[in-house]
Structures are given as C-alpha cells and as structure tokens.
C-alpha cells in the first residue's frame, strides 16, 4: 500500500510538449502528478483533481506522469502501456479516466474490454502492450520521478513545489488558489 509522500525535493523534470496535459497551456498553476493506475490513493486523488480542473478551469493545467509500482500493483505497468497506446491515438485522457474509474478491472481480460469500449483497435493496442512499445516513455517518467524525490503515489507538484498536504478537494483548491496568487 502506498501513502501520500512528504517530499523535500523540487520537480526536476520540466513540463514539455512531451507530457500529457489537460487544461490551458498558459494556466498560472500546473499540477504535475506522478501516478500509478492501480494505486487506490491515486484513484481518490483522481476524482478530486478532476473536480479541481472543473472548478478552476482557467487556472489549472494537469500533467500526468507514470510511476507504476509494479512490485505492489501487478497491472500498473500494463495499464500505463495502454494509456500510452491510447495517447498515440490522441485518446490518452479518455484511457486515463477509464483506468481510474475501473481500478478493480485492470487485469488483461478487463483491460482489453476497456480498450474495446473506448473504440480503440484492440489487436493493435494489445500488440503494442505486448512488445512494451511505450516502455521507454514510462521509464522516462519513472526516472524523472526518482530524480524529484518521489517514492510513493500519488505525488503532486504544484508549480514545481511538492504538495505535501492531503489530496482532499478543499486542500487542493487552497493549494491552487495560493499558487495562483502573485
């Protein structure tokens, strides 16, 4: 089981066009999340982050990076590969949301059904997952996390600074509002 991390480091890997991001590019607040699709704490944070994006739509940009903890979550890497395969087809965030909304169904059979539900080419995506076509991308995120002091999920950085408080909606909204104030 993973728990929220008390990080003393700063975000070491800057946000680039390479990242998966939603929200306005010029938003005054960027939340970088290192997550694991099978982590129950990430699932709880996911719902709150979506609400933060809804309530502060013009203020927040959300960047997602992979930090699958495979020794605890056996389906996390496969889920990350599926998200990347969907991302290659312009559907990263749809798969991201599906994975968090179906955390109890990330085994290969159910994941294949999710790929199909999203209308993605099942055989192509399964082949890409099988050959770890996106392994380098996932490792890049993972290494960036380690360099930034991450050792658990979820870990959030708000404008490059670790968010060391809880992931409750009021706390996240306060963190965003504070970061947005000049």
Structural domain contains residue 125: yes
We report the CATH number of the domain holding residue 120 as: 3.40.30.10
Tokens of 182: 């000049």
Structural domain contains residue 14: no
Q: What's the predicted TM-score (pTM) here? A: 0.94
Rounded Cα gap, residues 96 and 151, in angstroms: 21
Structural domain contains residue 8: no
Rounded Cα gap, residues 106 and 42, in angstroms: 14
For the chain, list the strands marked E by DSSP: 20-22, 29-35, 60-66, 155-158, 161-162
Structural domain contains residue 11: no
The pLDDT, as a whole number, for residue 3 is 47
Structural domain contains residue 4: no
Structural domain contains residue 86: yes
| Cβ contact 77:138 at 8 Å | yes
Rounded Cα gap, residues 54 and 132, in angstroms: 34
Estimate to the nearest angstrom the gap between the alpha carbon of 102 and the chain centroid: 15
pLDDT beyond 70 at 1: no
Report pLDDT digits (tens) over 149-163.
999 999 999 999 999
Structural domain contains residue 104: yes
Rounded Cα gap, residues 116 and 71, in angstroms: 27
Q: How confident is the model at residue 5 (pLDDT cuts 50, 70, 90)?
A: very low
Structural domain contains residue 5: no
How large a percentage of the chain has pLDDT more than 70?
95
| Rg of the chain in Å (alpha carbons) | 16
What is the domain range of residue 112? 20-180
Work out how many domains the chain is built from and give that number: 1
Residue 163: Cβ within 10 Å count? 24
The pLDDT, as a whole number, for residue 7 is 44
Give the mean pLDDT of 45-69. Answer: 98
Q: How is 54-80 classified by DSSP, letter by letter? A: HHTTTTEEEEEEE---TTT-TTHHHHH
What does the mean pLDDT of the chain come to?
Answer: 95
Report pLDDT digits (tens) over 85-121.
999 999 999 999 999 999 999 999 999 999 999 999 9
Q: How far apart are the first and last CA of the chain?
A: 37
Give the mean pLDDT of 23-28. Answer: 97
């Amino acid at each position: 089981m993973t728990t929220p991390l008390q990080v003393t480091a700063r975000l070491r890997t800057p946000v680039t066009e390479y990242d998966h991001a939603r929200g306005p590019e010029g938003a005054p607040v960027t939340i970088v999340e290192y997550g694991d699709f099978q982590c129950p704490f990430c699932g709880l944070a996911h719902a709150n982050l979506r609400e933060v994006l809804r309530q502060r739509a013009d203020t927040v940009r959300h960047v997602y990076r992979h930090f699958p903890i495979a020794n605890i979550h056996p389906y996390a890497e496969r889920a990350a590969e599926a998200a990347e395969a969907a991302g290659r087809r312009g559907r990263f965030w749809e798969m991201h949301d599906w994975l968090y909304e179906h955390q109890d169904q990330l085994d290969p059979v159910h994941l294949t059904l999710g790929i199909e539900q999203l209308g993605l080419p099942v055989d192509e995506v399964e082949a890409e997952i099988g050959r770890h076509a996106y392994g380098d991308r996932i490792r890049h995120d993972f290494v960036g996390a380690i360099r930034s002091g991450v050792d658990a999920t979820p870990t959030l950085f708000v404008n490059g600074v670790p968010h060391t408080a809880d992931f409750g909606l009021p706390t996240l909204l306060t963190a965003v509002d504070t970061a947005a104030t000049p």
